[in-house]
Amino acid sequence: MAFINDADRKAEVEDDKTQEGIKTAVKLVREAVFRIEDVIDEYTSCGEQQPSDPGCVVLPCEPAVFIQTMTLRLQIAFKIKGIKLQVREIKERSERDGFLIQSSLEQAPATSSRNRDVTLHNLQMLPFYTEEADVVGFEVPKAELIGWLVKGRAKRTVISLIGMGGQGKTTLAKKVFDNKEVIGYFNCHAWVTVSQSYTVDGLLRDMLQQFCKEKKEVPPADIATMNRDSLIKEVRSYLQQKRYVVLFDDVWNEHFWDEIEFALIDDENGSRIFITTRDMRVASCSKKTSFVEVHELQPLTHEKSFELFCRKAFRYDLNGCCPQNLMGISSEIVKKCEGLPLAIVAIGGLLSTKGRDAFEWEFFSQNLSLELHKNSHLDAITKILAFSYHDLPYYLKECFLYFGIYPEDHEVKSKRLIRQWVAEGFIKQEGRKTLEEVAKEYLTELVNRSLVQVSSLTMDGKIRSCRIHDLLRDMILRKCKDLSFCHFISEDGESDLSGIVRRLSISSRADSLMRSIESSDVRSLFVFIREDLSEDFVKILFTNSKPLKVLDFEDAGVYHEDATIDRIVKNLGD
């Protein structure tokens, strides 16, 4: 699993050719793991069918049973030998490909990879060069954040701006940070970009150098060689009796405040620390020693989204006004962005280079998922969103990928999801907590990381239902395919059942496709068809799904009124 995790992360930053090689290696490893699971299950099943008298294996009191047992064990032994050979071949191939990958990295990167890197960099730098007139939909949160900065208590306060990737946190923070009222209120200002890889020493040096540069002062001569303790003392000394504001942009580590707080002195003069993050836990951590204000950034409304889209798509030829023949399709494209400024800006910018033919735009809209993956101007969107996925600990990655099993725009009931996670074996025992309690904590962590959106709450404030952003779902579906996590039979025609099918999600009539899984050992099956299942469908399904451990067809009916759940479950494996 560690190999798969590392390979998946590496594939994100490689060129197209290398990506395909890594994905192939991951698929082979996955299939080897699946075959190991099959052998273990087969051996366990064989053991359960043994006669209760242990002497029967040694003394052939029942020759037929003895022969059958030894035959099964011999078959299992041959399968284990085959798996060992397969693993050895994968290892040799990985070592061989590893050399090729190293060689390719020494050469100039592929044009497509270079284009993607430029686009990704441009999107990341966009907040720093966006004109005030191009910022849409942030009027209310901007006013609230400025108020928190320049008004209120004298005690040092930590202000956190939270939202999913691409939601415009940095753009909004930059407009607030550069506001004239904010600039005039504080004696010292520093903007520090943190991101996922940082050192505390580096942040402290950056902060101190910005303070000195702002006042046209010379930094300490030995600043480059100072250790952390010296840097903390230097920063504290510099900030004595000064009202300061420090903005830490893109914080990921929930323990970040513990590492930085001692350098930020509190003289009770209205100093502020401003943090942008995707993770609610970052904001919660500072509550232990500071006053805290939290603003959770909301998606843009459809009206504001459409306004932003038009400014990008029609800025230079139609003065930001959408032509009548493109009104409908433009609204449809904007709707698919679900209020995410990053996607609206990137897609609007790309469409500004296309003609004004409605048919061409319609074709683009219908193939948006493919464009997000293949188009070098758009796949940077997915990369920015994927940062959150790759930051997840391994035990949460499979839980997050599970949202891809559900159809688009499906509202997921938390109880249903938690039971599925437990049945899959994703949840590990923690002390005296039940597995369901641990699973609820996993779900809460995904919400806190801005990866899952809460749709509704129970009366006591617990998560009743949730969903994910459509663009995150597109990313998940690609991960499911690359990692052989799940296969799909859906209404959009996707029915790739190549290789070993472990999880199968069906959201369209699939009677004609049942033959495709007759030789597959499906372990988890999900049916999202909102109609009664036919007798033939159920019969074929259960006959070929003996190793099934997760079965969910809550949304579907049963083919006959007397075919109860108990009866169906009883017939499983017959």
Half-sphere exposure of 444 (CA within 13 A, CB side): 11
Tens place of pLDDT per residue across the chain (574 aa) = 555 666 565 555 555 555 666 666 676 777 777 777 777 766 666 655 555 555 444 445 566 666 666 677 777 777 777 777 777 777 777 666 654 433 333 333 444 455 556 666 676 677 776 777 678 889 999 999 999 999 989 999 999 999 999 999 999 999 999 999 999 999 999 999 998 889 999 999 999 999 999 999 998 989 999 999 999 999 999 999 999 999 999 999 999 999 999 999 999 999 999 999 999 999 999 998 899 999 999 999 999 999 999 999 998 888 889 999 999 999 999 999 999 999 999 999 999 999 999 999 999 999 998 888 888 788 888 888 999 999 999 889 999 999 999 988 889 999 999 999 999 999 998 999 999 999 999 999 999 999 999 999 999 989 999 999 999 999 999 888 888 888 887 766 555 666 677 888 887 765 545 554 555 577 888 888 776 666 666 666 666 666 777 888 776 655 544 454 555 555 555 5
- Supply the pLDDT for residue 28: 73
The strand pair at 244-251 and 188-195 is best described as parallel
Exposure b/e, 44-72, CB count within 10 A at least 16 = b: eeeeeeeeeeeeebeeeeeeeebeebeeb
User: How would you classify the pairing of strands 157-162 and 272-277?
Assistant: parallel
| CA-based nearest residue to 98, from 232, 3, 225 | 3
Contacts of 36 (CB under 8 A, 6+ apart): 83
Supply the pLDDT for residue 169: 94
pLDDT on residue 79: 74
Cβ atoms of residues 314 and 322 within 8 Å: yes
**Letter for the amino acid at 482?**
D
Sheet holding 503-506, edge to edge: 487-489, 503-506, 524-527, 550-552
Neighbour-count burial of 87, counting CB atoms closer than 10 A to its CB (0-12 exposed, 13-18 middle, 19+ buried): middle
Place of tokens 């509190």: 266
Burial class (CB in 10 A: 0-12, 13-18, 19+), 403: buried
The answer to whether the CB of 402 falls within 8 A of the CB of 417 is yes
Q: Which two tokens stand for residue 53?
A: 């008298």
320, 284 Cβ separation under 8 angstroms = no
Residue 536: beta bridge partners?
Answer: none
pLDDT the model gives residue 14? 54
CA dihedral 470, 474, 479, 485 (to 10 degrees): 70
Whole-angstrom distance, CA of residue 283 vs CA of residue 251: 10
Nearest Cα to 377, choosing from 388, 368, 366, 386?
368
Q: What angle do CA 405, 410, 411 make, to 5 degrees?
A: 115
pLDDT for residue 102? 39
d(CA 490, CA 492): 5
Q: Alpha helices, DSSP H only, in 107-252?
A: 111-125, 139-150, 169-177, 180-185, 200-214, 228-239
What pTM does this model have? Answer: 0.82
Spatial separation of the C-alpha atoms in residues 97 and 103, rounded to whole Å: 10
Query: With contact defined as beta carbons under 8 Å apart, do 169 and 161 qualify?
Result: yes
Q: How far apart are CA 453 and CA 400, in angstroms?
A: 12
